[in-house]
Amino acid sequence: MIKATGGSEDGKRRFVLLGLSEMNIGKLREGKPIHIFGSELGIAHDIIIMWGQTEDAMAEEITKHFGIEPTRTVKQ
């Protein structure tokens, strides 16, 4: 995995870039979420990357593993 942060020259836009390797994708498909600590990137929030067959299945996993309902689920 590669991780980076950056922004536009005018400072109006900021981004976090996460590049996943084939090994990372394999772990996700095995049901092993990837946890990126915000402090590694100088940001306030941690990032969790997960994979699931459907958005509903992922929401169920979040509830099961973290004991919380997702506060906002966006299906695309």
Domain membership of residue 76 (yes or no) is no
Domain membership of residue 15 (yes or no) is yes
Q: What are 24-33's pLDDT values in tens digits?
A: 999 999 988 8
User: CA-CA distance, 67 to 62, in Å (whole number)?
Assistant: 7
Domain membership of residue 72 (yes or no) is no
pLDDT at 19: 96
CB 4 within 8 A of CB 40: no
Domain membership of residue 71 (yes or no) is no
What pTM was estimated for this model as a whole?
A: 0.72
Q: Is the pLDDT of residue 59 over 90?
A: no
Percent of the chain predicted with pLDDT > 70 = 89
Q: Number of folded domains in the chain?
A: 1
Domain membership of residue 21 (yes or no) is yes
Q: Give mean pLDDT, residues 8-14.
A: 92
Domain membership of residue 45 (yes or no) is yes
Q: Is the pLDDT of residue 74 over 90?
A: no
User: CA-CA distance, 45 to 69, in Å (whole number)?
Assistant: 18
Domain membership of residue 44 (yes or no) is yes
Domain membership of residue 22 (yes or no) is yes
Q: Is the pLDDT of residue 16 over 70?
A: yes
Q: Which domain holds residue 16?
A: 2-66
